[in-house]
Amino acid sequence: MTQIRKPRDVFGGLIVMTIGTGFLVYSRALDIGTTSRMGPGYFPTILSIVMILLGLVIASLALRAPTTEHSFGQVPWRGLLLLIGAVLFFGFVVQGLGLAPALLVVVLATAWASRYAKWRNSLLLSIGLAAFCTLLFIRLLGLPLPMTGPWLSIDYWSPAASTQTPAAAPPPALPTPSR
């Protein structure tokens, strides 16, 4: 019995192949169409095949290459928690903070997950990504996301604004049935 030389890469390749196979199975329910008239299942099917092939290449190269590793190693808990936390943070605050500030925080948090990231480069990257995504998603694609949300306005946090209620409008008249 031969020993697997790079178990991490073999395991990663198998995961990529499994995900690709899952997407391939679920995309079969969609119409593929032809190359000239692509159906809704065309792109997911091609992407699934590419993922399966990529996973196969990763796993096969790992079986052939020499290694210096002997196990899966330690789990980078800080990076794992920061990445998962950043995704959850974005989902919960994008409407309240807005797209640009939420992306600034998310990119900085994910950069802090790496021990190789420098703060200056991370800050420049987060500003650039926030500006690019704001331009792309809000201006060009017209998604209904706020650039800066209501949580960043003074009126939102002002106690005077929360105690003032607009004048109550009379209830709408009920329509009378026509005969």
Q: What is the DSSP string of 15-75?
A: HHHHHHHHHHHHHTTS--B-SSSB-TTHHHHHHHHHHHHHHHHHHHHHHHS--S--S----
Going by pLDDT thresholds of 50, 70 and 90, the confidence category of residue 64 is confident
Domain ranges of the chain: 7-64, 77-140
Q: How many CB atoms lie within 10 A of CB 55?
A: 20
Residue 78 pLDDT: 86
What is the chain's mean pLDDT, rounded? 83
Bigger pLDDT: 138 vs 2 = 138
The answer to whether residue 178 scores a pLDDT higher than 70 is: no
The answer to whether residue 158 scores a pLDDT higher than 90 is: no
Residue 5's alpha-carbon distances to 64, 69, 123, 148, in angstroms, are 7, 8, 39, 50
The answer to whether residue 44 scores a pLDDT higher than 60 is: yes
Q: What would the mean pLDDT of 101-127 be, rounded to a whole number?
A: 90
Percentage of the chain modeled with pLDDT above 70: 82
Q: What would the mean pLDDT of 15-38 be, rounded to a whole number?
A: 89
The answer to whether residue 171 scores a pLDDT higher than 90 is: no
d(CA 84, CA 53): 28
Please tell me the pTM assigned to this model.
0.53
Going by pLDDT thresholds of 50, 70 and 90, the confidence category of residue 50 is very high
CA-derived radius of gyration, the chain = 25
